[in-house]
Structures are given as C-alpha cells and as structure tokens.
Chains A and B, each alone.
Chain A
Amino acid sequence: MQTIKIKNPVYLLNGFSMVGPLEGEGPLKDYFDYILKDDTLKEKTFEKSERRLLLDIINGAIEKSGLTKSDIEFFFGGDLLNQIVSSSFTARELSLPFIGMYSACATMAEALALSAIFIDNGLASNVIAGTCTHFSSAERQYRFPLELGNQRPPTAQWTITGGGASVISKLPSNVRISAVTFGKVIDYGIDDVNNMGAAMAPAASDTICTHLTNMKAKSNDYDFIATGDLGKLGSEILIDLMEQRDIILGKNYADCGCMMFNKTQRVFMGGSGAGCSASVLNSYILHKLNAGEFKRVLLVSTGALMSTTTAQQGDTIPGIAHAVELEYVGKDSKSNSNNKQRSKSNKLKENKHSKRKS
C-alpha cells in the first residue's frame, strides 16, 4: 500500500531550524532556533555557505536532542543543488553513513518517512533527517545572476535560505510519527517554471487524498495540514482540487511557503525550496506539537521534479508530494487524555490545599 503505518513507536526526538535574515523577519521568527545575520556564513561561495548551513543545522539538531554524533546511525538528506552536493559534502564532514535522496522540495518528508521506516523495522535506533536550501545558490543554478536587473512574474516564488533537521529515534518524546505516504509523480502539463505551485498542486492533492483514504480519516481530523511550498496560488489551486474530490481544506490548512513571509515582504507567491517545509516543521509545527496544541498533523512536502535542461527543452513539470503524519503523545503514557485530566484534577486539589492553608 502507498501508505505505510508505523506500528512501533517512532518518535521525533527533537528538531533544529536555521534560516536567513529575510526569513528571520517573517511571522515565524520567534519559532526558529537560529536566525543568520550574514547569509554567506563567512564562506567564499554560496554553495559552500549552503553546505555550512546544513552542517550547522545537523550539529544543532544532534546537540539539541541531547545525543552525540556517535549515537546517530544514519543521515538521510538531500538538497536542490545538482548531484545533491550540499548533503553529500556535509555527510563527508559528519562521517555518518549517508543515504542521499532527491525529491526536490519534498525531500524533507521523504527523509522523515524513510527514517521512520528504518526505526520501525529495527534497523536503527537514532537517525537524523535534514535538508536545507540557499536562495543565492538556487538562484544561480536555476535562474539568473543575482545582480541582473530583471523582473519576476507575479507567480514566481522565493527560494528560502534555511533548513531544518529532525532526530528520529526510539527514545520517547512528545511527538510520534504514525504513518507515511509516498506520493506518485503527477504531471498535469504545466510547463511554466515560474509557476511551480500550479505544477505541484495536483501531486499534493493526490497524496493527501490517498493518505486520508488509507488512514480512513477526514481532513478535519487533523489539527494542522501543511503543504511544503505551493505558495499562495498553488494552495488556492489545491483547495479547489480537493473540493472536486469532496475534501474540504479549511482553517486547519496552511502552506509552509506562505507562512514563511509577511505580506509586506516582496516574495511574490511565497517561499519555496526544500528548506521551507524542513524549517517550518522543525520550528513552528514541532513547537505546537510539543506543547500539545496540535494533536495530529499531516506534513505534505511538495516538489517539482524538473531540471533546467528539461525545462529548456520544453518538457512539462512533474510534481511529487510525500506525506508524514505526526501525532502528539504524552511522554510517559499512551492514554494522554486521561493523563491530562489527572493533572487537571491534581491541580485543582493542590489549589484547594493551598487555599485551605492560607
């Protein structure tokens, strides 16, 4: 089946996110672990900066989860640069067994999904999944030189500088990965590289639908459904596509690319890039899950699988989306709701006691 249920407890032990200065001015600024002041990270080229960024993120995540590098058994990762150099060069520095992957901007969900499956099947106890993107290195690979005085079409998106990494583990935490869905590659014939949202929306809709059907769930069973980087236009299209399939995406739906920036920031349709869903997951979503404000979350990272060559040769853009379902579970016991009630009644008792004392 396309959806794989994670039967054994597999936890998202902790996550770390790091973003560039522009992203650090956005609405999620209080949730990120680290906001860069200088997006070159004092490296000579932007490709080197991207590597450095990923290395810092991975190290940050390992440190934050209270483990050491020797506890981590595998590193799952990928990025947008050709031959996924950022991840493989980072893996060289880390000297961890490296499982490199590419799903464009859907890489984070793919890495999480494979990590969870690895641990579920007892192949490892602690693994790390991470990815990042850098605006300037993506720009020079996919588009024009930074200093070129060109205009972007209104449907363009802004590749974010930033990323995130999650430590997936057997060790208990508040957040459990309960199911994953690997998406099909879907192409509705969009060939405009400046309109990725429209190219990826059908894939996202297919993956969400499949996941919901296989989990026998409805969209409002989730406290939060997040797509990776469809942008403003793409998420509007997704809502329409889902409506055609009789699934309503309401207030519990948001797109990470749209969440990343304020309306006043000139980023057109919003953020994009593999680092987009990675950083939002490991900051905002993880924070809300840990706090118990979100009980059940579906993260659907979306990717556009074209290259500059295929785009120039006039090929259409295939899209992909992978889904990961995250659940809030109490650290100590499975019956979390009971736990909460208990703690509530305990508090009441304490209050009564203190009142009596006073």
Chain B
Amino acid sequence: MDENKRNTNYKLYVESKVPKTKAWPSLFKAFLLGGLICALGQGFFDLYSYFFPNLSESETSTCMLMTIIFITCFLTGVGIYDVIGAWGGAGSVIPITGFSNSISSPAIEFKKEGIIYGICVKMFTIAGPVIVCGVVGSIIAGFIGLFI
C-alpha cells in the first residue's frame, strides 16, 4: 500500500519535471510540411492531367500517388526522409509519404536478416497496425452503409 502511494507520488513528481513539447511551433511545422507535401501531390496531379488528358481522374490520381510514394522511398533510402520527419512530425506522417516511409524504412533496416525473415516479415511492423485498423474500419463502415 505504502509502495503504491510512493509510486503515485513519484510519478506525479516526474510528470511535473518532464519538459513539455511546445504545441504551437510543432503544429506550425506540421502544417507547413503537410501542406507542402499535399501541394506537391496536387502539382503532380495537374501535370499528369495536362500531359495525359486521356486518363480518367482516378487513374491520374493513382499515377500521382505512385510518384509521391517513389519519391518518399527514394528519400528514405538515401537517408533524408528521417531528417524531414524529425522536423515536420505529423506533417510528414499523415500524408501517404508517412505510410511509404514506414514500410520502406524497416525493409531497408532488416534486409540484413534475409529476404523472408528480414524484409517480408519486418516490412509491416510499423504500417501493419494502420492496415489492420483501416481494414477493420472499412468493414464496420460497410456494415453501417448496408443498413442505411
């Protein structure tokens, strides 16, 4: 009982000592970086629809996503994306670039353990929960949609 009390007191004390992340600068950086990435995507979208007018809107959007994903993988491979991510935080995580980085970075990191046990197994260690949540979420949304 005494121990519990001691621990809760200690936790409260530690929490009071922990430096807080300043919200406004982080929000601003995330907004700026996320906005930049989205603007880049829109730029590619416009570029593709200008050069390939025969493509449908969804096809153009797929091409744009492929380009953005490739650029992120490339930047991850040459070791630049982690610097960008450390600066921009959620601004780099929320767009598809974050997803791409979360798959390519473990693939690079665990290549040394071989193709099966390294790349294939570890590739989804970070992105896996996102995929699972996405799938489960869409099942639920599908069921709701069925009855509306």
A residues adjacent to B (C-beta < 8 A): 44-45, 140, 144-155, 188-190, 195, 198, 202, 233, 236-237, 240
Given the interface pairs A45-B112, A144-B126, A147-B109, the reply to whether A154 lies near B18 with Cβ below 8 Å is: yes
- Do B82 and A148 touch (CB < 8 A)? yes
11 residue pairs A–B, Cβ–Cβ below 8 Å: A145-B108, A147-B76, A147-B104, A148-B105, A149-B81, A149-B101, A153-B21, A188-B7, A188-B10, A189-B8, A233-B18
- Do B17 and A150 touch (CB < 8 A)? no
- Do B18 and A147 touch (CB < 8 A)? no
B23 within 8 A of partner (CB) = no
Could you say which interface size class chain B belongs to?
A: 35 or more
Q: Report Cα–Cα, A190/B13, bound state, in Å.
A: 11
Q: Report Cα–Cα, A188/B18, bound state, in Å.
A: 16
Distance in Å from the Cβ of B76 to the closest Cβ of chain A?
5
Binds A, one of B39-47, B51-59, B84-92, B136-144: B84-92
Q: Report Cα–Cα, A294/B109, bound state, in Å.
A: 44
Distance in Å from the Cβ of A190 to the closest Cβ of chain B?
7
Q: Report Cα–Cα, A311/B110, bound state, in Å.
A: 22
- Do B86 and A151 touch (CB < 8 A)? yes
Kindly identify which residue among B6, B77, B93, B112 contacts A149, using a CB–CB cutoff of 8 Å. Answer: B93
Kindly identify which residue among A149, A153, A155, A236 contacts B84, using a CB–CB cutoff of 8 Å. Answer: A149
Q: Report Cα–Cα, A153/B85, bound state, in Å.
A: 13
Interface centre among B81, B82, B89 (most CB of A within 10 A): B82
Distance in Å from the Cβ of B32 to the closest Cβ of chain A?
15
Q: A residues within 8 A CB of B79?
A: 147
**Which residue of the partner chain B has the closest CB to A136?**
B109
Kindly identify which residue among B6, B14, B105 contacts A147, using a CB–CB cutoff of 8 Å. Answer: B105
Distance in Å from the Cβ of A295 to the closest Cβ of chain B?
33
B106 within 8 A of partner (CB) = yes
Q: Report Cα–Cα, A146/B83, bound state, in Å.
A: 10
Q: Report Cα–Cα, A151/B104, bound state, in Å.
A: 17
Interface centre among B8, B76, B110 (most CB of A within 10 A): B76
Question: Given A147-B77, A149-B76, A150-B85, list of 7 further CB < 8 A pairs?
Answer: A144-B126, A145-B126, A149-B83, A149-B93, A152-B86, A154-B19, A154-B20
Distance in Å from the Cβ of B9 to the closest Cβ of chain A?
9
Q: Report Cα–Cα, A278/B93, bound state, in Å.
A: 37
Interface centre among A146, A148, A149 (most CB of B within 10 A): A149
- Do B86 and A150 touch (CB < 8 A)? yes
Distance in Å from the Cβ of B28 to the closest Cβ of chain A?
14
B102 within 8 A of partner (CB) = yes
- Do B85 and A140 touch (CB < 8 A)? no
- Do A149 and B82 touch (CB < 8 A)? yes
The 4 A-B pairs with the shortest beta carbon distances in the complex, nearest first, are A149-B85, A189-B7, A145-B109, A147-B105
Q: A residues within 8 A CB of B85?
A: 148-151
Q: Report Cα–Cα, A237/B8, bound state, in Å.
A: 15
Q: A residues within 8 A CB of B101?
A: 147-149
Distance in Å from the Cβ of A189 to the closest Cβ of chain B?
3
Q: Report Cα–Cα, A146/B108, bound state, in Å.
A: 9
Q: B residues within 8 A CB of A233?
A: 17-19
Q: A residues within 8 A CB of B89?
A: 151
- Do A147 and B10 touch (CB < 8 A)? no
Kindly identify which residue among B10, B102, B106, B112 contacts A189, using a CB–CB cutoff of 8 Å. Answer: B10
